């Protein structure tokens, strides 16, 4: 005697159609479907640096407007500097710093070249904004070389540039895993 076994179609038809997967399964699936987080970090970095540079530029304009009257002469590091004349306003000149900065910039440029074009363009635009802000601050310091706010702004733009280099270098390290 043969036993009556249900067909596969009958077994499948008997299965529930609205079974939800366990809660711990979906995050792993969603992570695989999500576009690479690395790209979004670069975009966030570029936007943050651009925002900081913009804020720095706006503050520079504000300070310049508040100090329209040119100073006849001031001192920078104990030396007299006529108003409007360029001077070295504290950019590091220590040979070890200059060498480290050059090495960091070379690594930054090499890693930047490996990024996709839209991300690279945004980071390069952020770097250009930082450098433009620094040039504006240096020009303002020419008119008011002893202004402590402008001095701090200059140091801030130097730090912003280095932070941009550092973030790109760290986030593009070979063998880094995405989280």
Per-residue pLDDT, averaged over 71-80, amounts to 42
* Confidence grade of residue 95 (pLDDT, cut at 50, 70, 90): confident
**pLDDT tens-digit series, residues 46-63:** 777 777 776 666 666 665
Q: What radius of gyration do the chain's Cα atoms show?
A: 28
pLDDT number for residue 169: 86
Quick count: other Cβ atoms within 10 Å of Cβ 64?
A: 17
pLDDT number for residue 68: 53
- Distances in whole angstroms, Cα of residue 174 to Cα of each of 40, 114, 156, 164: 18, 11, 29, 18
pLDDT number for residue 102: 86
What does the alpha-carbon distance between residue 125 and residue 67 come to, in Å, rounded to a whole number?
Answer: 29
**pLDDT tens-digit series, residues 131-170:** 999 899 889 888 888 888 888 888 888 888 888 888 888 8
DSSP per residue over 37-73, as a string?
HHHHHHHHHHHHHHHHHHHHHHHHHHHHHHT-SPPSE
Task: Please state the domain extents for the chain.
Answer: 41-70+93-174
**pLDDT beyond 60 at 85:** no
The sign of the CA dihedral 78, 84, 90, 91 is negative
- Distances in whole angstroms, Cα of residue 23 to Cα of each of 15, 28, 175: 20, 10, 31
* Confidence grade of residue 99 (pLDDT, cut at 50, 70, 90): confident
pLDDT number for residue 129: 92
């Amino acid at each position: 005697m043969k036993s009556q076994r249900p067909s596969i179609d009958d077994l499948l038809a008997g299965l529930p159609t609205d079974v939800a997967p366990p809660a711990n399964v979906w995050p792993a699936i969603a992570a695989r479907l999500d576009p690479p987080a690395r790209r979004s970090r670069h975009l966030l970095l570029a936007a943050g640096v651009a925002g900081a540079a913009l804020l720095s530029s706006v503050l520079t304009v504000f300070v310049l407007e508040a100090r329209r009257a040119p100073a006849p002469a001031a001192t920078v590091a104990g030396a007299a500097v006529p108003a409007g004349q360029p001077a070295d306003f504290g950019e590091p000149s220590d040979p070890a710093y200059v060498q480290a900065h050059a090495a960091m910039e070379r690594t930054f440029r090499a890693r930047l070249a490996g990024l996709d074009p839209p991300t690279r363009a945004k980071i390069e635009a952020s770097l250009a904004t930082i450098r433009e802000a620094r040039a504006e601050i240096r020009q303002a310091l020419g008119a008011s070389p002893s202004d402590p706010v402008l001095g701090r702004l200059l140091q801030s733009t130097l730090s912003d540039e280095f932070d941009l280099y550092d973030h790109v270098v760290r986030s593009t390290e070979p063998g880094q895993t995405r989280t």
